[in-house]
Amino acid sequence: MRGVRLTAIILALALSMGLDWAALQAVAWTRMLAGFSQSMPIGQAITQTLDGLHPCTLCLAIRRGREAERKTSSPITLENQVKLEFDLPVAPLSLFLTAPKADSFPASDAFSTRSHAPPKPRPRARPIA
C-alpha cells in the first residue's frame, strides 16, 4: 500500500513539473533515432534526430501541446502571490554579534602550571622478526 501511495506522489510531482512532455519527447527521439539509423550511419542519425530541423509528427504535436499549455496557464502576477514574512526576534541575533567580555576568560597563566606530571605512555610491544 505504501508503494502505491509513493508512486502516486511521484507521478503527481512529475506531472506538475512538466515531465510528461519530457517523457513524450524522449519517446519521439527514440523513434526518430531508430528510423534514421536504418538509412544512415549512427552519428548522422543522432545529429539529425537532435538538431530540431527534422521534427517528426510526434515532435510537432508535443510542440503544439506545450505552446497551448503556456497560453492557457495564467501568468503569475504580484496580485496572485502571497508574501510570507518570518520575523525573527532580535535577541538571539545579538548574541552572535556581540563580542565576549575580557573578564569572561580565565587568566592565561592558569593553564601554564601543572599540579602533577603527565601520564607516561604504555610500553609498546617489540615487533616480531
* Any domain includes 129: no
Structural domain total, the chain: 1
Angle between helices 19-37 and 57-72 (to 10 degrees): 160
Cell readout for 17 is 513539473
Is residue 50 included in any domain, yes or no? yes
Beta-carbon count within 10 A of 30 CB: 11
Classify residue 65: in a domain, yes or no. yes
Residue 121 is assigned to a structural domain of this protein: no
Domain annotation covers residue 124 = no
Q: Domain of residue 39: give its range.
A: 18-72
Per-residue pLDDT of the chain (129 residues; tens, 9 = 90+): 788 888 888 888 877 777 888 888 888 999 999 999 999 999 999 999 988 898 899 999 988 988 888 787 655 555 556 666 665 555 555 555 666 666 666 665 555 566 777 778 877 777 776
In a domain, 102, yes or no: no
Q: Is residue 46 part of a domain?
A: yes
Given a contact cutoff of 8 angstroms between Cβ atoms, the answer to whether 9 and 43 are in contact is no
Looking at the domain assignment, is residue 114 inside a domain? no
